[in-house]
Structure formats: structure tokens, C-alpha cells
Amino acid sequence: MYTWSSIYHSQIQANDNYQKLKPVISIWILDGNLFDGVEECHLPFTLYNQKHQLVLTDHIAIHLLQLPKWQSIDPIASEKERWLYLFKEGQNVDIDNPPETLNTDEMRQVMKVLHRFSENETDYLLYQSRLDAVLKENTYISALEDALKEKEQAVKEKEQQVAKAKEQAAKEKEQAVKEKEQAVKEKEQIVAKVKEQASKEKEQAAKEKEQAATEKEQVEKRLNDLMLLLEKKGIDLDNELMSSQQ
């Protein structure tokens, strides 16, 4: 998918338009079986909706050729069979004296290209090893960068949590101080009210005591006045009381 998409993506540049895109067909020649449970040698893949049997586009096609699944037949029945024969048996073919199956203009041209590939195999493998090293280095650097970002994010989150906890603690402490101040204020108000009430009650008791003393004094005065009046009248109240008792 990566190599297919790379080729497809490279067809147009920023100033082009999508009409320049052409179908890209990727062919993978496999010397092992990717799908063991399938007997077919040639497995084509497209973007396909299985339920409605719809092909989304003909711009993408990936063909897998599982060479171990292919059995040589004689005579070759199609050009695809000829290509499969070349792919599977090509390493044993004498390029200068190819078998009748490959003795066509197209196959001779292909074998010349293969010959050039074999001559440049060392350079190709060197290029591949360098490319692989670059990809591994990029992957390693990317992994380190991701790990660094994750660590920075974790530190940032920890700092935010600590700051939030400190802020919450400060708020709770401030709230506790306010509640304590409120409690002290309410206590002072209660004490002041109790003292004020006690003072009022004490003052009221004093007034009542004074009132009682005044009333007693008035009663005693009236009694004395009555005794004097009786005495002036010649009435002895004590003798009268004793006589009434007898």
C-alpha cells in the first residue's frame, strides 16, 4: 500500500489537477505464499464493496503472484503463464540460449533487462541497505521524539496537577480562615448578647428590688400612720386583738 500510494501521489504536484492522475497497478511477485488457504496463484485486489458488488475506482489495483502456487504447464497457454514461467524458472534460464517458451521478442527484451539488473545487483543492494538504514534511523528518531513529547506532556500534566492542588489547598485554607473568623465573630456576638441580656436582667432585678423596697417602705409608713391614728383615737390595737382572740 505504501509503495502503491507513493507512486500514485507522485503523479501530480501542487499546481496540477486531479485529471492528471492515471491508474497505478502494483504487481508483487512473491516467492512464498501470503495466503496459504487459497489455491490460486494470481490474486488481484481492488477497492470493492462486497455487499453490492461495486468497484469504487479502477485507479487502484494490487496483484499478488504467489509463485509456489503456480505449476508449470506445457504448452504455455497465455502470456500471463509465460510471465509466471519466467518469474519462477528465470534464474535457471540461459539468457543467450532461452527455451522455446521464452523465445519471443518480448521475453528476450525482458531477459536483457534482468541481465542488467544482475550486473547492478551490488549497487542495488547497497542502495537498499542505505535506504533501510535511513528509514530505521528516521523511525528511531521519531520514536525518541514521541517519547520526549510524551514525557514533556506528562511533566506538564504533573505540574498542572500540582499547581491545581496548591491552588485548591490555598482556597481551602482561605475558606477555613474565613470560617474561623466567622465563628469567632458569631461567638463574640453571642457573648455580647449574653452579657447584654444579663446586664438587662440585673438592671431589671435591681429595679424590681428597689420597687419592692419602696412598696415595703410605703406599707410600713401607712401602717405607722394607722397606728398613730388609732393611738390618737385611744384604741390599743394589741389589746383589741387579744380580746378578739379570747
pLDDT digits over 20-59, tens only? 999 999 999 999 999 999 999 999 999 999 999 999 999 9
Around 127, how many Cα atoms within 13 Å sit in the side-chain half-sphere?
A: 5
Cβ atoms of residues 88 and 62 within 8 Å: no
pLDDT at 118 over 80: no
Cβ atoms of residues 53 and 47 within 8 Å: no
Closest listed residue to residue 86, CA positions, set 97, 98, 75:
98
Domain-by-domain residue ranges, the chain?
Answer: 1-70, 120-231
Higher pLDDT among residues 113 and 68, named by residue: 68
Stretch 199-225: mean pLDDT:
88
pLDDT at 86 over 70: yes
pLDDT at 156: 93
Q: Which amino acid is residue 45, in one-letter code?
A: F
Stretch 70-77: mean pLDDT:
77
pTM over 0.75: no
pLDDT at 190: 92
Interatomic CA distance for residues 131 and 123, integer angstroms: 12
